[in-house]
Structure 1
Amino acid sequence: MKCMPQAKCSTGLILFPAFDWCISPTHPEREERLLYTKDQLIEEGLEDIENIQFFNPELADYRDIDRVHLCVPSAQNLLTDSHLISAGGAIRAARAVMEKDVEKSFAIVRPPGHHAMQTVFGDRGFCVVNIEAVMVEYIRKHYGVKKIAIIDTDCHHGDGTQDIFYNDPDTLFVSLHQDGRTLYPGSGFLGEKGGPAASGYTINLPLPPNTSEEGFDTVMERVILPMLEEFKPELIINSAGQDNHYTDPLTNMNFTAQGYARLNRLLSPDICVLEGGYSIEGALPYTNLGIILAMAGMDTSHVKEPDYYPGKFRQSSEVNRHIETICDQAMQLFRNRTGTATGKTAERTVMDRKRIFYDTAGFMVDETKIYHLCPECPGYTEIEASGNNTDLRAFCVPFNGCRSCQTRARDHFQRAPGGTSRRMVVLQDRIDDIYEVK
């Protein structure tokens, strides 16, 4: 009788290709992204490996969405079933780990989500709902986890995830990506280091085009692993974009399946959630397989693209020095981090303005965030946003807010003039899980 291979680390997989959703039939973000991966996993016999389990995704509830997002005019209006199932797939991956069905899990789902910000007026960067953020707040609500690290390895800056957790000192968000001066969304620079109550808890690593495995190894060893050792998160989540691959049609990097496997082995995330990756045949079947086998503690030496050979891509000494400088600056930002606004500023409020481009529909949103600071907690946030013929005013209480800030936010919400057909007024309270519109 043939002895079947066994995963050293029990690993759960959730696969959802979203057959009924795409931006267009020829768009890079379409169902074929995962169909080749599915065929590869079957061909490699993953369904027969002991300690690797496949779970069905579930449907996220609109309450799960509203806990994170301020959708204009509503989540019901903006989201399709595929978006709810993609978010539900991430939630199912979390439940599998939190309820100890498996030690690790990977939600291989689409549509992706890391460009979806706290305010959502439509589709931007192929994203409408931030599936990692929805999963994180689900974990916090249902399992009481507090300190979480999100490591975003997508080639594009995870601007939406950054926005959602920007003023949260209990979330360490690290994004390693191609320099925003050369790639969408044009953000993710070292100076974007967190809000007034969480400075140094957002770390961006803008890597130069043509960064190879050597550069990613440097970032892991000199920045990410030391940060995780010091931050000591209860959970590590990998926002597992795979468009750093050398065959990806949208980017300019030189990462490989072997590199992704090694990165995952070093990072050892509890949960992975697929983000980008648009080399449908040349990369995703190999990179997804490498990540899965690394999570499961299995041999990854055979996971190679047909044209792979060691040393195919060499970094110049100039690129090496540039990445080392970025690493040093990032570590300095992290070491100088602050946990609350206590004693750090004499101001009671801090204002942040930005313009958000919704590239799919081609409109702009003007947004102002007012951070109401507190010596006991991160404070609450007031948001005013205007775009696509709708205005939004919201008062948002974080999960780690204090009761005093919760009361102040509710009072401001109640005193605010009522909404109209073109103006929304919202209270989003993560402490008591309230989402109220007037």
Structure 2
Amino acid sequence: MSGRAQLMWDEAVTGYDFGPGHPMDPVRLALTMRLVEAYELDRGPLEVVAAKPAGDSTLRLVHREDYIGAVRRASADPASADIGYGLGTEDVPAYAGMHEASALIAGQSVGAAEAVWRGDVLHAVNFAGGLHHAMPGGASGFCIYNDAALAVARLLELGAERVAYVDVDVHHGDGVQAAFWEDPRVLTVSLHEHPRTLFPQTGWPEETGGEGAEGSAANVALPAGTGDEGWLRAFHAVVPELLRAFRPQVIVTQHGADTHFEDPLAHLAVSLDAQRVVAETCHELAHELADGRWVALGGGGYAVVDVVPRSWTHLVAIVGGRPIDPASMVPESWRHEVFRRTRQLAPQRMTDGRTPRWRDFADGGYNPADRLDQAVLATRRAVFPAHGLLP
């Protein structure tokens, strides 16, 4: 199997654009790619590849035909009344070309999954993807087609028997969980802000999979305000043990950058440095458990200058085997590009100046008065026994 890696990129993915004032500003994608280029990560050994848009037969692996038709109609005539299916809302405004842009993003994630499963590459990354809220029959939470679920579904279609999906976006990965709720071949793990305080108000620890797939979903609902130490403690207390028990043949991860303390739409307090640690851990788990097969996706993230480009450039660098020193200065050419596009000042370094540390859950002891420890234990009690693990 080749050790090469792929970055899935087509400039046309920036056409996923809900218009001025919408939090999902496509400049976050363009600035990420420009930062990747400024670090020359696109010059090898990482190969930049553009896949074709997902066709209807691929989209139907997850989405209902009537919903795909509704997206096509909205894309052709955004002003049409009563589109339904979650389209034409404040979260998912209808716009001309929305089907084409969404299908292109989905195609990049499906292409990444295909390349990894075929053995063309060990790792592949599509930071434009990770649109994890879209449901089989409707749009939701800024998401039209669920490229993450489509990548997993394509892996199953190609013959994968065990796929692990790990989602560290601040919002629950509800659409991916829903797509595989009754499929024991897929383990979905989501770390997110508690549903009491954040959309989509799902992802309770008691959500552990449907009939015949008990234990196939794991949800860690983190208290608002959780920072680096708690976030990393929760991740390491749940994800590695579950994945080792599940023995995935391939790992798909979603790296929403909206856990960051500067993100305007949520309430966690995680740093860029902790996000990088989790990306590195996912990389290590892929090599330990899945012969290196790793598909990495982006996701949410609405601090579009200060956070998203740096977070996902670190992710691309890790996927490509050329990790960036967090203390390095951000290239001056990129800072000029940021100002040209946004009239904002760009960050100076690839770090928030944090040195992430956490107490291991097994060795550090459980504190019954700590809300973070309560959340971790609730998840472990709900799902670990289904995998033969002690909570």
**TM bracket (short chain):** 0.7 to 0.9
TM-superposition CA deviations, 1:139-189 (whole Å, max 9, x none): 222x21111010011111111111111111111101100111111111111
TM-superposition CA deviations, 1:176-227 (whole Å, max 9, x none): 0011111111111111111121122111101112212212221222110011
Question: 2:273, 2:355 within 8 Å by CA — same for their partners in 1?
Answer: no
Q: Does 1:33 align with 2:28?
A: yes
- Matched with 1:322 is 371
Question: 1:9, 1:295 within 8 Å by CA — same for their partners in 2?
Answer: no
- Matched with 2:102 is 83
Opposite residue 115 of structure 1, the aligned amino acid is: H
Q: Would you say how many aligned residue pairs link Structure 1 and Structure 2?
A: 326
- Distance across 2 between alignment mates of 1:282 and 1:215: 23
Greater length-normalized contact order (CA 8 Å, ≥ 6 residues apart)? 2
Alignment of structure 1 residues 350-389 onto 2, 5 Å: none
- Matched with 2:338 is none
Alignment of structure 1 residues 39-58 onto 2, 5 Å: 39-48=34-43, 50-58=44-52
Deviation at 1:272, TM superposition (A): 0.8
Question: 1:28, 1:278 within 8 Å by CA — same for their partners in 2?
Answer: yes
- Matched with 1:301 is 325
State the superposition RMSD in angstroms. 2.7
Deviation at 1:237, TM superposition (A): 0.5
- Distance across 2 between alignment mates of 1:149 and 1:314: 24
Deviation at 1:21, TM superposition (A): 3.3
Q: Does 1:107 align with 2:126?
A: yes
Cα pair distance change 1:94/1:312, threshold 3 Å: closer
Opposite residue 303 of structure 2, the aligned amino acid is: S
Alignment of structure 1 residues 389-404 onto 2, 5 Å: none
Opposite residue 291 of structure 1, the aligned amino acid is: L
- Distance across 1 between alignment mates of 2:357 and 2:223: 14
- Matched with 2:384 is 335
Q: Does 1:257 align with 2:272?
A: yes
Mean alpha-carbon deviation: is it higher for 158-167 or for 324-333? 324-333
- Distance across 2 between alignment mates of 1:166 and 1:128: 20
- Matched with 2:142 is 126
Deviation at 1:294, TM superposition (A): 2.3
- Matched with 2:304 is 280
- Matched with 1:116 is 134
Q: Does 1:211 align with 2:226?
A: yes
- Matched with 1:201 is 216
Cα pair distance change 1:29/1:81, threshold 3 Å: same
- Give the counterpart of 2:173 among 152, 155, 158: 158
Cα pair distance change 1:285/1:46, threshold 3 Å: same
- Distance across 1 between alignment mates of 2:15 and 2:383: 43
- Matched with 2:243 is 228
- Distance across 2 between alignment mates of 1:51 and 1:319: 48
- Distance across 2 between alignment mates of 1:308 and 1:240: 17
Which secondary structure state, in structure 2, belongs to the residue aligned with residue 276 of structure 1?
coil
Q: Whose helix proportion is higher, 1 or 2?
A: 2
Deviation at 1:59, TM superposition (A): 1.2
Question: 1:289, 1:303 within 8 Å by CA — same for their partners in 2?
Answer: no
Deviation at 1:318, TM superposition (A): 8.3
Which secondary structure state, in structure 1, belongs to the residue aligned with residue 45 of structure 2?
strand
Q: Whose strand proportion is higher, 1 or 2?
A: 1
TM-superposition CA deviations, 1:94-126 (whole Å, max 9, x none): 12212222210101225x521111222xx3200
- Matched with 2:63 is 69
Cα pair distance change 1:267/1:19, threshold 3 Å: closer
Which secondary structure state, in structure 2, belongs to the residue aligned with residue 236 of structure 1?
strand
Q: Which runs of 5+ in 1 are unaligned?
A: 1-7, 340-438
- Distance across 1 between alignment mates of 2:274 and 2:369: 17
Cα pair distance change 1:73/1:225, threshold 3 Å: closer
- Matched with 1:139 is 155
Opposite residue 310 of structure 1, the aligned amino acid is: R
Deviation at 1:329, TM superposition (A): 2.4
- Matched with 1:350 is none
Question: 2:191, 2:235 within 8 Å by CA — same for their partners in 1?
Answer: no
Mean alpha-carbon deviation: is it higher for 63-72 or for 293-302? 293-302
TM-superposition CA deviations, 1:55-92 (whole Å, max 9, x none): 01311110111121124354444561011101101011
Which secondary structure state, in structure 1, belongs to the residue aligned with residue 108 of structure 2?
helix
Which secondary structure state, in structure 2, belongs to the residue aligned with residue 119 of structure 1?
coil
Question: 1:212, 1:314 within 8 Å by CA — same for their partners in 2?
Answer: no
Question: 2:255, 2:298 within 8 Å by CA — same for their partners in 1?
Answer: yes
Give the greater-gyration-radius structure (CA): 1
Opposite residue 157 of structure 1, the aligned amino acid is: H
Question: 2:14, 2:29 within 8 Å by CA — same for their partners in 1?
Answer: no
Which secondary structure state, in structure 1, belongs to the residue aligned with residue 14 of structure 2?
coil
- Distance across 1 between alignment mates of 2:354 and 2:31: 24
TM-score by length of 2: 0.77
Question: 2:112, 2:126 within 8 Å by CA — same for their partners in 1?
Answer: yes
Deviation at 1:253, TM superposition (A): 1.5
- Distance across 2 between alignment mates of 1:291 and 1:333: 31
Cα pair distance change 1:301/1:166, threshold 3 Å: same
- Give the counterpart of 2:115 among 96, 101, 108: 96
- Distance across 1 between alignment mates of 2:14 and 2:368: 41
